[in-house]
C-alpha cells in the first residue's frame, strides 16, 4: 500500500501503547446516547493534541484494542496478567523534534506525564488517578521509535 504522505530521510515513526481506552470513534458532538463513544474519542483527541505540541503527526493509525500479556510490554508493575492495550502509530518529519538522539521519545514522556484522561470506558485496568503515567508502577503509556 502506498502512503499518501511523502516520507523523508530526516523523519521517524513512533508507536505508542496505552492501557487507556483511546478508541477513535469519530464521535465529536455531544449526544447523551453516545457518551462513552464521545469520551473514547476525547481520549484519542488528547493523544493527538499532546503529540502536536512539538510535532505534526502524519500517517496516524490506531488499531482496535488487543489483549496483551503485561510481562511482554513496558507498562508499570501495578498491571499484571492479560489486559486490553491500544496501539497507535505516527510519523514525524524531524526525528529530533520529540527528543535527542540518545532518547528520541524524551519529550513524549515528559509531555504526556500526568495529562488528564477519562477512565471507566472499556479498559480492563483502572488507574489510581485518571491521568497518563509515563513512569512508575502505574505507567499506562509508552512509546517506541524506528528511524
Tens digits of per-residue pLDDT, 45-88? 999 999 999 999 999 999 999 999 999 999 999 999 999 999 99
More confident residue, 42 or 6: 42
- Relative to beta strand 141-146, strand 12-18 is antiparallel
Range(s) of the domain holding residue 133: 12-146
> 9: pLDDT confidence band, cut at 50, 70 and 90?
low
CB atoms within 10 A of CB 20: 25
Q: Is the pLDDT of residue 100 over 60?
A: yes
137 lies in a domain? yes
6 lies in a domain? no
Q: Find, among 61, 49, 69, the residue nearest to 112 by Cα.
A: 49
Domain count, the chain: 1
Q: Report pLDDT for 78.
A: 95
Per the DSSP assignment, residues forming a β-bridge with 93 are none
The three cell numbers locating residue 7: 516520507
3 lies in a domain? no
Handedness of CA 44, 104, 75, 133 (dihedral sign): negative
Phi, psi at 85, each rounded to 5°: -135, 135
pTM of the model: 0.91
> 8: pLDDT confidence band, cut at 50, 70 and 90?
low
Q: Rounded to whole angstroms, how far apart are CA atoms 96 and 12?
A: 9
Amino acid at each position: 500500500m502506498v502512503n499518501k504522505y511523502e516520507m523523508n530521510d530526516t523523519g521517524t515513526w513512533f508507536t505508542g501503547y496505552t492501557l487507556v481506552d483511546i478508541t477513535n470513534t469519530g464521535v465529536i458532538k455531544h449526544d447523551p446516547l453516545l457518551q462513552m463513544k464521545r469520551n473514547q474519542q476525547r481520549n484519542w483527541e488528547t493523544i493527538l493534541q499532546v503529540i502536536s505540541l512539538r510535532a505534526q503527526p502524519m500517517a496516524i493509525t490506531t488499531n482496535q484494542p488487543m489483549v496483551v500479556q503485561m510481562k511482554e510490554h513496558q507498562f508499570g508493575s501495578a498491571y499484571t496478567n492479560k489486559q486490553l492495550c491500544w496501539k497507535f502509530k505516527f510519523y514525524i518529519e524531524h526525528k529530533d523534534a520529540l527528543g535527542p538522539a540518545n532518547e528520541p521519545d524524551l519529550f513524549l514522556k515528559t509531555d504526556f506525564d500526568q495529562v488528564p484522561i477519562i477512565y471507566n470506558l472499556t479498559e480492563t485496568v483502572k488507574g489510581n488517578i485518571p491521568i497518563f503515567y509515563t513512569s512508575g508502577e502505574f505507567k499506562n503509556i509508552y512509546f517506541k521509535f524506528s528511524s
